[in-house]
Amino acid sequence: MNCSFQALGKHAEPVPHFKEKYFSQILDHFNFNNMGNGTFNQRYLITGKYFWDRGVGPIFFYTGNEGDIWEFALNSGFIWETAGLQGALVIFAEHRYYGKSLPFGEKSFRIPEIGLLTVEQALADYAVMITELKKQLDATECPVIVFGGSYGGMLSVYMRLRYPNIVAGALAASAPILSTAGLGDSRQFFRDVTADFENYNPSCRDAVQEAFQQLENLAQHEDYGHIRSAFTLCKTPGSSQDIHQLKGLLRNAFTLMAMLDYPYSTHFMGNMPANPVKVLLQDDNTNNDSDIADSIVYNSTGDVQCYDIYTIYVECADPTGCGLGSDSLAWDYQACTEIEMCFESNNVTDMFPPMPFTEQDRVQYCTRKWGVVPRPGWLKTQFWGDALSTASNIIFSNGDLDPWANGGVRKSISSSLIAVNIPEGAHHLDLRGSNIADPVSVRDARRKEAEIIAKWVKMESKKMF
């Protein structure tokens, strides 16, 4: 899902002073004879800066997802802006197997050590951590609201479904709870990436298809030198595998631009300009759309001489990208087990080359890579799929620019299962701090979300006092 952000330098959001701490967490919540009550150090960030009604005020708890927790803390200004207004204690908890929360250190990504990486274990971590920290902080009566973006938003939903005894409400920003549970259309994701570009400029789709076709033609004529120079590659491609890799890399570049199509510049594996999709389409210094997409995303500093297609992009069990480094290994494992993302591009409903990723492909890859057999339907069984009518107090926010949006809940289900749609929003833009360049729609969304959260807190406090 590839949701790691970095906001450093001049564009960074103002950040409260978080304390970085570690929580002694149970290694295996679901097997008392595996590891016994063995523990690992789970990282979390905490600030009581706004917690003026100590022991009474709310706790805003970010359910960390697939990355270093600092990256989420530094890019979720909405949470502390709202905490400031509502007097909340703020905690950002890191997901096991990501960042510095590695249960077995460097050995965490081996088999069988990796086996303790599941959604259920992560949720139990958060449930246990909240319960314990509330005791330690003398805050047992404080209502807890969970926040999360993308997979973190899915975890926020799941926390409210599974632990409503602990969590009074959830803001799930850009949480594709349906598409990752195998519900919906496998063509939706890349169709919506395509739509983003098409909506800016209707001729874009044809141009991109044409560029990919040119690449295909060059490959079929084995004109690899031409491909190398066109894409500034470090090595001349020499096989259909190399071409497949290049196509995947290019598709990923477009995907990231669509996801991160924010109205101001942000930082993800380098610099992303404001409105990257628009920038790409307006740029007339290029003859090759793929080329510019590539250089915007992968050549952030402008000092890369050439691209090594196998180091800047790694194919994995998530066709939308796993990112790089050890976090990407963990996410690959999750995509191989519980999180189902058999998304395809087909060049008919989208502008990309046909690149299927069927359940069979997934089984083959995951068995070889991790020694696991995915269980289609498991996430739907565990976390209800679209049968959410008995749940309550969840906001499902989505931005229309975000290709993940239509894999989530777009219509309110009840008066307390509320869809908030943001026409000009990219991937969980609403979780970011206020910015002068924000469209009105995201300001409205944030205001509405804050009001609903305040209402939940008030209701929960009434129950307790």
| Active centre residues (catalytic) | 150, 402, 427
In the list 16, 84, 87, 164, the residue contacting a second copy (rule: CB under 8 A) is 164
Q: Binding of a second copy at residue 337 (CB under 8 A)? A: yes
Quick one: which of 448, 285, 84 has its CA closest to 295?
285
In the list 40, 98, 158, 370, the residue contacting a second copy (rule: CB under 8 A) is 370
Minimum distance, C-beta of residue 388 to a second copy, in the bound complex (Å): 8
Q: Binding of a second copy at residue 395 (CB under 8 A)? A: no
Minimum distance, C-beta of residue 145 to a second copy, in the bound complex (Å): 15
Which amino acid would we find at residue 451? E
228 token code pair: 């190398």
In the list 16, 84, 87, 115, the residue contacting a second copy (rule: CB under 8 A) is 115
Scan residues 30-49 and list those touching a second copy (CB under 8 A): 30-34, 36-37
Nearer to a second copy, 15 or 363 (CB): 363
Cβ neighbours around 48 below 10 Å, total: 18
Q: What sections of 31-140 are H helices per DSSP?
A: 69-73, 77-86, 119-136
Which segment (114-122, 258-266, 323-331, 354-362) binds a second copy by CB under 8 A?
A: 114-122
Nearer to a second copy, 253 or 394 (CB): 394
CB 426 within 8 A of CB 261: yes
Q: Binding of a second copy at residue 156 (CB under 8 A)? A: no
In the list 286, 325, 359, 373, the residue contacting a second copy (rule: CB under 8 A) is 373
In the list 54, 375, 447, 458, the residue contacting a second copy (rule: CB under 8 A) is 375
CB 349 within 8 A of CB 152: no
At residue 374, φ and ψ (nearest 5 deg) are: -60, 155
Strand order in the sheet with 19-26: 19-26, 39-47, 89-93, 59-63, 144-149, 169-173, 394-399, 417-422
In the list 8, 17, 136, 165, the residue contacting a second copy (rule: CB under 8 A) is 165
At residue 127, φ and ψ (nearest 5 deg) are: -65, -45
Cβ neighbours around 456 below 10 Å, total: 23
In the list 372, 419, 450, 454, the residue contacting a second copy (rule: CB under 8 A) is 372
Scan residues 421-440 and list those touching a second copy (CB under 8 A): none
Minimum distance, C-beta of residue 382 to a second copy, in the bound complex (Å): 8
Q: Can you tell me which residue has the tokens 């289900």?
A: 413
Nearer to a second copy, 113 or 283 (CB): 113
CB 42 within 8 A of CB 93: yes
Classify residue 348 by its DSSP letter. Answer: S
Minimum distance, C-beta of residue 122 to a second copy, in the bound complex (Å): 11
Longest dimension (CA), the chain: 75
Q: Binding of a second copy at residue 120 (CB under 8 A)? A: yes
Nearer to a second copy, 86 or 118 (CB): 118
Q: Binding of a second copy at residue 377 (CB under 8 A)? A: yes
Which segment (255-263, 282-290, 316-324, 372-380) binds a second copy by CB under 8 A?
A: 372-380
Distance spanning both ends of the chain, measured CA to CA: 41
CB 21 within 8 A of CB 59: no
Q: Binding of a second copy at residue 162 (CB under 8 A)? A: yes
Buried b (16+ CB within 10 A) or exposed e, 320-338: bbbbeeebbbbbbbbbbbb
50 token code pair: 């706004």
In the list 112, 302, 348, 415, the residue contacting a second copy (rule: CB under 8 A) is 112
Minimum distance, C-beta of residue 334 to a second copy, in the bound complex (Å): 10
270 token code pair: 């380098």
* Host H or E run for residue 217: helix 204-220
The span from the CA of 84 to the CA of 52, in Å, is 9
Q: Binding of a second copy at residue 382 (CB under 8 A)? A: yes
In the list 387, 415, 462, 465, the residue contacting a second copy (rule: CB under 8 A) is 387
In the list 25, 121, 275, 328, the residue contacting a second copy (rule: CB under 8 A) is 121
Binding residues for a second copy, rule: CB under 8 A, are: 26, 28, 30-34, 36-37, 111-112, 114-116, 118, 120-121, 124, 127-128, 131, 162-166, 336-337, 370-373, 375, 377, 380-382, 384-385, 387-390, 392, 463
